[in-house]
Every structure is written in C-alpha cells, then in structure tokens.
Structure 1
Amino acid sequence: MRNLFKMLLFLFIPLGGFAQEEQQTREVSKFEVPVEYYQLDNGLKVILSPDQTSPTAIVAVYYNIGFRIEPKDRTGFAHLFEHMMFQGSQNLGKMEFIKLVQENGGVLNGSTRFDFTNYFEIVPANKLETMLWAEADRMRGLDITQENLTNQQGVVKNEVKVNVLNQPYGGFPWLDMPQYANTNWYNAHNFYGDLEDLDAATLEDVESFFNTYYAPNNAALAVVGDFDMAQTKKWIQEYFGNIPAADLPAKPDISEPRQEKEKEFVKNDSLANKPAIAIAYHMPERNTPEYYAMGLLNQILIQGDNALLQKKLVDELGYTSNVTGGINYLGNMFNYNGPMQLMFNFTYDSETSKEQVVTAVDEVINNLEVTPDMLENALVKMRSQLYDELGGTFGLGRADLLATFALFDDNPARINELEEEFKKVTPQLMNQTVEEYLRKTNRTILVVNPLLANNEKSK
C-alpha cells in the first residue's frame, strides 16, 4: 500500500543547476514535517503530526521490542506475541479489534521488525478517538489464555512452514543473512523462530513478556492526519495516561566486532530452480557521517536502472534480470537500531558460475570512485525515495519514522534533519567509506545451491 499516492508538493530541481534553480531547490527544501513531541507521566512517548491533505487519521503504536532482543530460549517469541495482540483485551474479545477497525472503514496491520513491534490503523478522521481507545485497551491488558496461545502457536508455525521451509528461496536472504554475517546471538539467531522454541512457549512466558515490554514507558504513540491537536491530547491523556509503567530490563549488548575476514556460505535448497547469491557488507554505526554516506552508496550501487550493479550484471553481462537490495530488508535505512548490513541479491543461470558473478561484483566495487556528479545524482534519488516514504499510504511512512526516531533517539524531529545530513556528505567521505566498509573482509557471501536442478541435470 506504500505507493497509493505520492506527495506532489515535493517537486525538485536537479542539484548543480543555475543559481535561480538552486535557490528554488533550497526553498522547496524548507518544507518540514509538523512535529509535536511530549511524554505522559507514565513514560509513553507521544508524537502528533497534523496533515489536512486527506480526511484520515493514523494511529501507530510502536513497542521497543523486536526480533533482536527476544529471549534466548524463545526464538520467534517477539513475532508470536505480535499475533497474541489480536486475541482479545479487557473490553474487546478475540478478533474484535480487527472487526472494530474494518467496520469503521479503516485498515490495520502489525509487524515485528529487528528493533520494534508496531501496530497501526488508518481510519476516517472522525474515528480517531475510537482507535485511541482500542489501542489503549490492549496496552492496558490482554486476554491471555492457553487456548489463544495454543491457537497462535499453530498459526505461527504454519507461517514458518509456508513462508520459509516449504518455499523456494524461503527466508533468502532476509532471514538467512543475519545468521551468517553476524556473530552476536542477538543479531544472528533465527528471528522467525525454531519450531521447538515456539512449542515451548508457556502462558507464564506470554504474561512476563507482555508485562515487561508492552508497557507505556517502552512505547511510542504517533498520530498523523486530520485531527484537532487539543482534543487529541485530551483523548490520549484520558485513555493512556493511567496505564502503569513497568520496570524495564537493561538492554543486552548487541554490538558486533569488526569483521576482518570474508565469509562465504552455501545454502542447499531442493525447491529452488536456479542458483542465487546475496552479498552483504556491515554498515557503519547509525547516524554517523559514514552511515549517511552508505545510504548514498546504496543509491549509486543498487537502486534504480542507472545503478552500477544493475548496469554491470544485467545490462552488460546479462547474468541476471534484476538486482535487488538495500539497507534493512525489513524496513528502510532509518527504522532500525543495531548492527545492519547493506545487501543485494539476485538469481542467475546455472551456466554462469558463482566465481564469474563475484568477479563482476568485484569489478564494480574495486573501480568505484565517487565523483561530484555521482554524488549529486545519488542525492536526488535519495530525496525522491525519502519523500515517497513520507507521503506513502496516507502518511504511514511519516508515522513510522516519527515513532522509531522517538523510540531510538528520543527525537522524532530528526525526520526534518535527514535531508541536510545527506547534503553534508562529500565525495571524499564517500570514497573513504567505500574503502573501509565495502572491503572484501567486511562482507559475507551466501549462495543458494538448487539441489533439485542439480539432481535433474545428473540423471
């Protein structure tokens, strides 16, 4: 749904034009997302961002718990708990939350990511109060029963079987690569969950998880859309203000050591019909100058028809029909809060060897020297992508960045600083970042070996 419409306000002129064009570009750049940020006494972070372009409202609740820091003997538990949040609360029975949203003309969803679990509703603006009440009701307490737990254990296990175990290229590379590229268990375990761990979850586990992580002082509430600011603040205080805070545990160490040796792995897949490859490089620390430089290198190397890897591997050599990838396969380069990789992947014909593919990639990376013109083009592409994120799905991308920046940085107004941070990047910094972060010893290569295709060829 992210591309239902684009914010047409953000017409821009390519950088490096005449003085008048540059002045117009600067004037357009002055647009800022409205942000009002405060915290309730119980610690809930609240972000309000009015937007009258559509008579809709978004309620997005983000909890500061994701795949990464779930319990060590309960892999997949963060995702399992996402399902539990729809099984009933104090005043809404099983699945009644979904019915409430849909019968009021809205849409909803939830997801589990590396560093957060989120829930959102997009509704007609006059139903905002109803959604605030409903989200507060399940933050206050769930209907945690053995029947609901057993049911959702089955749902999640079936999801794993359908989406990963019985699917060609299942989990490749979004689920696989973190387990190969990282060394710290928190970053390297099976986020979808081992079936034995999912079976082992108990009611006590669920209650403890809810009481620990689904507290207002571990959450952010973003409201975006057509609403009255004063009235919305009153509703938020009324419905969320008296939910008790929790004692939050210390965050585990999720750091990764500097990789000093190239890693290479093979994943056998009897359902795949041709080989595939994923190549990942560890990212710089979030919010550093090098981090923004890698964001622009992503535009140069991977994104769009003029990306260097696309031109080399598709247009010139014909090894593949498309190169896909980026930073954070479960979101975007902004909405995560720990170690991450810049990654790209593609399938290729069995007649092409892995060595040929890697040699071609090395030619692109080793010969990469960023020029001012390349940097300006990357800035234009990044700006376009950023505004797509902010405007898509009635402002859901805006709500996402506001909530995650509140959770991770205690500063949702960072949303208005991103463009300027990218503009600070120089060609010199880009080339230094290439040298340090796109080195062979900082990368992991994962190849899918199509066993079925190999077996057929040997008959």
Structure 2
Amino acid sequence: MKQQIEALDAYQVIEKRKISDLNSEGYILKHKKTGAAVTLLLNDDENKVFYIGFRTPPKDSTGVAHILEHSVLCGSKNFPVKDPFIELAKGSLNTFLNAMTYPDKTVYPVASCNDKDFKNLVHVYLDAVFYPNIYQEEKIFRQEGWHYEMEDVEDELSINGVVYNEMKGAFSSPDDVVEREIMNSLYPDITYGLESGGDPDFIPELSYEDFLAFHKKYYHPSNSYIYLYGNMDAAEYLTFIDEQYLSAFDALKVNSLVGVQTPFAAPKELVKEYSVMEDDSISENTYLTYNVSMGTSLDKKLYIAMDVLDYVLCSAPGALVKQALIDKGIGRDVYSTLENGIYQPYFSVIAKNANSSQKEEFVATIHEVLKKAVSEGLDKKALVAAINYFEFRYREADFGSYPKGLMLGLEALDSWLYDEKAPFMHIEANETYRELKASIATGYFEELIQKYILDNPHKTIMEVKPVQGLTSRKDKALYDKLKAYKETLSPQEKQEIVDKTAALRAYQEEESTKEALETIPLLTREDMKKEAAGYINEVQNVDGTTVLIHDIFTNGISYLNLVFDLKDVPAGLLPYVGILKAVLMMVDTEHFSYGELFNEVNTHTGGIKTVVNTYTNADDLKKYKVTLEIRSKALYEKRDKAMELMKEIILTSRFEDTKRLYEILAEIKSRMQAVMTGAGHSVASIRALSYFSLTAAVSEQISGIPQYRLLEDLLKEFEERKAVLVQNLKDLTQYIFRPENLLVDYTAAKESYGGLETAVKNLKADLYTGKVSGESFRPDPVRKNEAFMTAGQVQYVCRAGNFIDKGLPYTGALKVLKVMMGYDYLWNQVRVKGGAYGCMCGFYRNGDGYFVSYRDPNLKKTVDVYEQAAEYIENVKLDERTVTQFIIGAVSELDTPMTPATKGIYSLGGYLTGLSMEKVQKERDELLATTIDELRGLGRYIRAFMENECLCVVGNGEKIKESEDMFMHVEQLFRNN
C-alpha cells in the first residue's frame, strides 16, 4: 500500500511515518494540481472514516457558514434528489453521517464498516460540497436558512427557516449564551468575535447572493482538508477523489486564514444579558466569568497542559478556584470552560447563580488562590491524577457511539487547520504525557498560571445578567418590525411573498423523480448481515452472588460494574436515589476528603461513575428491575484497587457535612437546568411516557421533573430539611448496598480473572445486612397532559402512548417504521415544512411509542402532523427500493460498532431483561423481511399509541399560553425560588 500511495502522480507525499501511538501508518499529502491538503491514518480498524473540511471564517453573524453546511446536502449535480443526506441516512450502513459548523471551519464526515457503503458515502459527500444544487435552486437557501412567510396577503408576516429556528433554540439556553459571549469578548476583531452558527437577529440580513459567494470562495479544493482513516485501499480512494473531483479544478489562492486577535493592553470588563421569565427572580441569577486567551493551539505541550490545569483549578471536586468561590458563596455552581479547538484557545472560570455585586470579590478570590498556588506550588497528587486521567482516556480511545477515527480526525484539525504540516501534532500524545509528568516537579504548571492567567492582560471579566421578559420583548419587537415592514410593501410585493411561500410549499411537497432517487447508490438486502450481535455471557456463582463475565479483549483494561437491585427501596426514598447517585464520590469517605478521593480514583483508575438503569422483563412487560450501578475501569493490575475504592465509596461515604451537601445539590440543580433547557425534547418525551409507562414513571422520579422539583424544594427549605436528607441518604445505602441485591458484572479477557472471586467475597462480607423494611415503590401512572413554560424561543412537542396495551405485539418491522417516520414523514412535515430543527420517534419492546420535535417554532401545527401520521402510513405509496432503504437504515442503527465496554453492557442488558437471542434474532429476521404491505399495516400501531392522547410540551411561554386549552395543566419549568 505504501508504494501504491507514493506512486500516485496526482499527489505529493510530504511526510510518511509510523504513528506508533495509534498503531497506524500516517501520510501527509498535497494534491499537486489544486494544493488540497490530505492526511491518511491507515490501520486495521474496519470502521472507516472520511471527511472533507474547509476553512470558513465568517465576516458577520448571519450564519452563512452554517446555512451553507445544511444547504449543500440538499442535492447536487450527480445526485439531483432534494435531500441526499436523508436518502443516505435512511438507506446506508453508515456509522456516522453528519456535517458540523465551527467558528472557523466546516467539516463533512462519514463513516462505515462496509466497503461498498463507504465508497457511496464518499462519492455523495464530495459531489455535495463541490457541485451543490444551491446555484440552480434558490428555495434551498430559503428553506434551510430563512424566508419571509405569509400564506395570504391578510396574514401576519413571519420569518421561518431551519437554521433560523435552530439558532433561536441555541440562543434560548443561558449557558450557551454565556459561552458564546465569552469567546466573542476575547476576540472582538476577528472571526471568533462573530457567531458562525448565525444570530437570529442577523440571519435575515443574509442575501442569496452573499450565500452563493461564500460557497464559491471557500468550497474549493485549494481550501480543503481531506482525511481518510482505517482499513482500506487508500490509493484507490485517492485516485477516485482526484479523477472524479479535484482534477476538475485549477489552483486558487483562497484567503481563508483565521486572523489573530491583537492582545489586549489591559483586561476588559463587559456586561451582557440573557432572558428569564417575567416573574423569575433576578437575584442570584447572574453569571460571573473570568476569561483568558492562552497561547495558540500549535503549542503541543500547552494543548494538554491546559486540560491538566483546568482539572486542578476548577473541574475536579474540591479544585482550588472552584472550592474557594463556593466557600465564599460566589455562585451556587462554579465550573470552567476550556476551548482549545480554535487557533487562540481560551480558559474561563464561571460562577453561575451569583450576583453582580460579587464581581470584585469573584476576581479577587481567583487572584488570591492563584497567587498562593504559584508561591506554594500546586498539589502534586492532583497533577498526577489529572495527567493519569487524560492519559487513560487517550490510551483507551473509547468514544462511545462515535467512531474512533472520526474523533482523531477532528482533533487533528486543531493543529492541521493552522499548519498543514502538523495534522498529527495532538493525536500523537504519548511523548507529551511523559513530558508533562516530568514537568510536575519543575514548576511548569505554576509558570503557566503566572504567565497565562495572572500576568496576562488578554482577559475579560464579564457578567451576564438576567433580564425578565427579554424573550417576550424581543418577540414583540420582531412582531412590530415585521408588521411595520409589511405596511411598507405594495400589494404586488405582498402578493410576491404569498406566491414565494406557496412556491416553497410546493417545492417541499414535490417528490424527487424515480430517476433522481436511483442516482443515490444503494446496497441490497443481501448486503445486510443476517445474524444479530450475540451476547458474551458467562454466569458464575460466588457464594450465592451472580458474577456475570464477558470474555472480551480489552487491551489490558478491566471494566468492573457493581449492579445493585433497588427492589426493596420504599416509595418515600426512591426520589432520593437520584440524589444519592450524584452525591457518591462527591463527599468525604472514611479515608479521604472528597477532593482526595477524586484524585485517588483518577490516579489509580480510568474513572468510577454511578448510573441508574431500568430493565423491563422481556417475557412479562409488567415486571421491571431498577438498578444503581457503580462502574469502574482500570488496568488489570489496578482492578483490585478499583474494587477497594468502589467499596470505600458505597460503604463509607459521609453525608453529615450539610454544607457540602448543599453545594452538591446546588450544582446538580444548575447542571440539570442547563440540560433541561438544551434538551427539552428529552424532558417532554420522558414526561409524556410517564403518564402511562411504569418504567418511565420510575425514571421520571429519579431523573426527570419530579427530581428537579425535589432539588428546588430541598434548596429552598434546606435548613428545615437537611437532617431528613442526611438520614434518607444513610437509609438508602442500607436498603441498596446489601449482598442479596448485588450482581457483579465484569468485562475483560480471561487472563485477568485471577483474584476476582476473592475480591467479590471480600466486598460481600462488608455489605449491609441489618434488617430493613418498607413497601417498595410501585408507580401509578396517570395522564396529566402538561405544558412547561420557559424563556426559550422554541418548543419541544411530544405525543406518546402504548400499543401493546391495545393488543398489538412487538415486531422487528417497527424499527423500519422508526426510520421511515424519522426520515420521511416527520422529517418532511415537522422539519422541512414546519421549520423545526429536528424530530424523533421511538417504538419500544414494552409497547411504548412517541413522537417528539426539537427546536420547533410550532406547537398545535406539530400535534396536527402527529394526528395525521397513521393515515399517511396506511396510504403511503412505496416501492421496493424505498422499503429496502428503510431496512438498511434500521440495520445501520442496530449494528453500530461496539467498544469492548459497550459489548459488556449490551450483554448485561440481555441478561437482566431475560431477552433471549432467539427473540433478538426473530426481530432481526422480521426487520429484514419487512414488506410494503407490512409497513402500511403498521399504521394501526400509531393509531393505537395515539389513542392514549398523552401530550407534553416544553417551550416558549407565550406560545404555550396561546394553546392553553390543549393542556390539563400549565406551569413554569423552572420555578422561582
């Protein structure tokens, strides 16, 4: 392969070498004719990755780069369908398919384990970026970006568009607003001072002509970054890329360099705003931020050292700056932001739920702590723990469902975008970790604090203050502006908007021709793997305790999971399980303070975490198991140390320090509020499901709105309730951490099993055995149909129900229906026509089903779409090719490559649910055999779950009030404490 690549006439080999850290052959190439930059990482990973990226620094905040990212995937020269992206999503075996806009670049990545599929994906994406239909069809810009909307000349004038609504959602999250303002404040004169995603106030200023000009300037091979990763014939792909695309272009001098912000002569102070509801308190709702620009991303050692500093100063529990601010009552939640994916990285300390009056003390406290750290030296154990933590993550390279090659490729851009000869700088990091360990004793980290934080004038001190009703006022200002603008229009101009609205609707409803659809390459059913992924379970018994072993090669890492059944937890204590999960590892134990414990865990292991899960019995859907799981990962030789630390955490945690408990509760509430604001679809769906589903009702108690309400009440009445809280947490440990509740789950190769039985016996001997009593929690779901109002600008709309209760059995064909709904009916009706950023659905083995929208400008209109879904399915016109697409998309979701850890979790899930491989295989066979008639017949499943009439909406208060009669109850999502 090496000789083949070197022999390619179209490319110049700049560098080739073994990347030992990644067990890969690395190449840096340049396309001779155009100057396109190319990087290869070739290895034995079957999950192949390709991307093409472009440096795309915007000159304003109209979101042109973001709108273009959406729009180029709406049809191209060789693939003239209206939405190739969706055709691929519903009909390929991709393991990743998306596109991303960053502050200074746009990236188009794909991944697949199937060679034929991977070639198809590469072909379609290259055609999309170089020959998009945006030049032939202006409606693409209007649909994905923005457009005036009016269906009749007498209607109110409005603005709609997918990116426009996406960014209205993004601008609704206070935490996102703060993060954006921080970067803008530090780099006011360059691209980082702008909003590449688009500011909704400015998006309507973008013209179609400027949109096209941006593509013409930046989407050229001379400004491109092409990346290939994995087990492939790289010479074949490079030849294809050259002959089919790059060779058609001449070299072009593209001025896309990211400007450098001139360092400030002195720190700057700024004040910004974010919106809260009219009757929300503005007390203790301000964000105070301390922000510094730190070097460049081409400083290899600093790039990782900043992560280490972040850990020691702010991220770890008890970290120096974080704890000092919390001890002084400056913010209920103190956290940090480290952005090193841009040329000029920055570091921020943020105190959330603070007051403006605390700003001077906020700055003084940071300076005081840092000066002391420099003069007395940082805690060496904390530095060792931090470096070990990041090195373990680097070596493990477990990115969950994201392909390893993709994450490495994106990290490569952190250096490659600014130096075309340095794509491997940060992904080749073993030597850097060795240097950092050696630097602990030299004062290197203390020097970084002095240079980049204390003595650095390139910093901003910014407060972001709450403003009551700001969203409503902005909505009213926009309404007035559009009304006034409409009044300036002539009858002909009004009619033109009406005509354009109708034309866009007609375009959106027009189906691609059969000929156009057939240009998209498609696999066949025969290309699909017929066998379902099997479990890897070996059941052992250690003195009456089940030890479930998964014999999997893990590259020397053991994954140890202590699974405790919550069957005996009484109803009154169940909501506190969510709090216990968050408190464990965050309080003192018998041998460690909480800060020392965190460092001890990260010094010896790859991390310990707690999770709560529910498992529905596959043979009796009314039965379920709720578990609290303590999960660790560690090198084989450190496994027993991991077990020892897990035992320390579950059996000796001290809950009596009520000051610490208050800090933890305040932080949990803050983080939960941020998640609920950004992921309103998750809040709405689990809430709607809880109206009828036992497992959803349990999950809702532990992690949903009732959990958030409990946190609100505990913090509001903490002095009165703290003693009960402490006792409840103590009682919970007695109910949960008992020998009869324990299952031990272990994922590793057999060579590591030695001593496991002894470790389990030692753990069991110390678990609680005292008598406990109480009736376990059994939810009584009831339909509530609620709306939860926020200061956000968009909605999240969910309808849910159950089809098995109506006598319909689960079938694997429902996985095909999920793809069809998500990428056909809901996509077209809710996203394309409705302007929402996204829409999801699910049909589960227990019969639960739901539809939910994401960053949706509509409410009732979306519910109407849901109501018409069954009729659409029952009458849909499909051909064999389309059904095959949906089947391939469903298989793709099933066959996401699993890491060793996820294989273990998958096998554990099969064991705890009692889901046999026979059933799993039967469902796969049903999926693969789905017919046109069978798909149409699934309309009755939608009718069945819609009969429950369970509705939950999270979103804009004014929009909800307009449709108040749809709900049984309306309240604010976040109550005024």
Q: TM-score, normalised by structure 2?
A: 0.39
Q: Which runs of 5+ in 1 are unaligned?
A: 1-28, 454-459
Partner of 1:63: 54
1:142 to 121, 126, 132: 132
In structure 2, the CA distance between the partners of 1:415 and 1:294, relative to structure 1 (3 Å rule), is closer
Alignment of structure 1 residues 411-430 onto 2, 5 Å: 411=421, 412-425=423-436, 426=439, 427-430=442-445
Tell me the CA shift for residue 397 of structure 1: 0.8
Partner of 2:313: 301
- 1:403-439 per-residue CA deviation (whole Å, 9 max, x = no partner) reads 4543322232324543424543534332222112112
- Contact kept? 1:211, 1:246, Cα under 8 Å: no
**Separation (CA, whole Å) in 1 of partners of 2:414 and 2:90:** 26
Q: CA RMSD in A?
A: 3.3
Partner of 2:216: 211
Letter in 1 for 2:452: Y
- Contact kept? 2:269, 2:460, Cα under 8 Å: yes
Once the two structures are overlaid, the 10-residue window that deviates more, 266-275 or 217-226, is 266-275
Tell me the CA shift for residue 31 of structure 1: 5.1
In structure 2, the CA distance between the partners of 1:123 and 1:429, relative to structure 1 (3 Å rule), is same
1:436 to 451, 460, 466: 451
**Separation (CA, whole Å) in 2 of partners of 1:98 and 1:346:** 41
Partner of 2:416: 406
- 1:150-208 per-residue CA deviation (whole Å, 9 max, x = no partner) reads 112222222222221xx251642221112222341433234343446432333332332
Identity, in percent, stands at 20
- Contact kept? 1:282, 1:437, Cα under 8 Å: yes
Q: Quick check: 1:276 aligned with 2:287?
A: yes
Alignment of structure 1 residues 127-166 onto 2, 5 Å: 127-144=117-134, 145-153=137-145, 154-164=161-171
Alignment of structure 1 residues 35-46 onto 2, 5 Å: 35-40=26-31, 41-46=33-38
Provide the aligned length of Structure 1 versus Structure 2: 414
**Separation (CA, whole Å) in 2 of partners of 1:137 and 1:43:** 19
1:288 to 299, 304, 315: 299
Alignment of structure 1 residues 1-150 onto 2, 5 Å: 32-40=23-31, 41-53=33-45, 55-65=46-56, 69-72=57-60, 75-92=62-79, 93-106=81-94, 107-126=96-115, 127-144=117-134, 145-150=137-142
- 1:292-315 per-residue CA deviation (whole Å, 9 max, x = no partner) reads 44343223223333533344345x
Partner of 1:25: none
**Separation (CA, whole Å) in 2 of partners of 1:389 and 1:344:** 28
Letter in 2 for 1:298: D
Tell me the CA shift for residue 222 of structure 1: 1.4
Q: Which runs of 5+ in 2 are unaligned?
A: 1-19, 146-160, 470-977
In structure 2, the CA distance between the partners of 1:256 and 1:422, relative to structure 1 (3 Å rule), is farther
Once the two structures are overlaid, the 10-residue window that deviates more, 350-359 or 56-65, is 350-359
**Separation (CA, whole Å) in 2 of partners of 1:306 and 1:240:** 54
- 1:335-359 per-residue CA deviation (whole Å, 9 max, x = no partner) reads 322x331123242256994444444
Q: Quick check: 1:380 aligned with 2:380?
A: no
In structure 2, the CA distance between the partners of 1:290 and 1:409, relative to structure 1 (3 Å rule), is same
Letter in 2 for 1:136: L
Q: Which has the larger radius of gyration?
A: 2
Aligned residue for 1:348, secondary structure, equals strand
**Separation (CA, whole Å) in 2 of partners of 1:151 and 1:313:** 47
Tell me the CA shift for residue 113 of structure 1: 1.0
In structure 2, the CA distance between the partners of 1:326 and 1:34, relative to structure 1 (3 Å rule), is farther
Tell me the CA shift for residue 63 of structure 1: 1.0
Which of the pair has the greater relative contact order for Cα pairs under 8 Å at 6+ separation? Answer: 1
Runs of 4+ in 1 over 6 A off after TM superposition: none
- Contact kept? 1:319, 1:352, Cα under 8 Å: no
Partner of 1:24: none
- 1:94-118 per-residue CA deviation (whole Å, 9 max, x = no partner) reads 2123322431122312111122111
Tell me the CA shift for residue 365 of structure 1: 1.9
Q: TM-score, normalised by structure 1?
A: 0.79
Partner of 2:468: 452
- Contact kept? 1:290, 1:433, Cα under 8 Å: no
- 1:247-290 per-residue CA deviation (whole Å, 9 max, x = no partner) reads 23334672223323232222233317622222211111333377
In structure 2, the CA distance between the partners of 1:30 and 1:268, relative to structure 1 (3 Å rule), is closer
- Contact kept? 1:47, 1:402, Cα under 8 Å: no
**Separation (CA, whole Å) in 2 of partners of 1:342 and 1:76:** 25
- Contact kept? 1:275, 1:347, Cα under 8 Å: yes
- Contact kept? 1:320, 1:348, Cα under 8 Å: yes
Letter in 2 for 1:281: V
Letter in 1 for 2:121: M
Letter in 1 for 2:462: L
In structure 2, the CA distance between the partners of 1:448 and 1:139, relative to structure 1 (3 Å rule), is closer
Aligned residue for 1:325, secondary structure, equals strand
